């Protein structure tokens, strides 16, 4: 009985090892060097940035409030539940 268990473990280990070796082989065989970008001469371009309008809330109290007023949630109490 012990020899059957040992044989099963050896077969399982051999199959697992063969699967790992096969995966490594497929990975190596299917990889290619064409994914590397070609080297090109470096060029420098200069651009000017357009003026950007501010989108944040204004510091003066009368102008442009973007956020709604904050209201706290109301507490709920259920007397039938005893925690």
What average pLDDT does the segment 63-83 reach?
74
Residue of higher predicted confidence among 50 and 15: 15
Residue in the block written with tokens 């000017």: 48
State residue 56's pLDDT score. 61
Asked if 67 contacts 58 with a C-beta cutoff of 8 angstroms, the reply is no
Taking only the tens place, the pLDDT of each residue in 3-31 is 888 999 999 999 999 999 999 999 888 87
Taking only the tens place, the pLDDT of each residue in 32-49 is 766 566 676 777 777 777
**pLDDT value at 83 more than 70:** no
**pLDDT value at 1 more than 70:** no
């Amino acid at each position: 009985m012990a020899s059957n268990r040992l044989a099963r473990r050896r077969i399982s280990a051999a199959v697992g090892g063969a699967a790992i070796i096969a995966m490594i082989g497929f990975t190596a065989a299917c990889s290619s060097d064409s994914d590397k970008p070609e080297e090109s001469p470096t060029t420098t371009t200069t651009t000017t940035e357009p003026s950007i309008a501010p989108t944040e809330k204004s510091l003066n109290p009368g102008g442009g409030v973007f956020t709604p007023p904050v209201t706290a949630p109301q507490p709920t109490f259920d007397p039938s539940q005893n925690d």
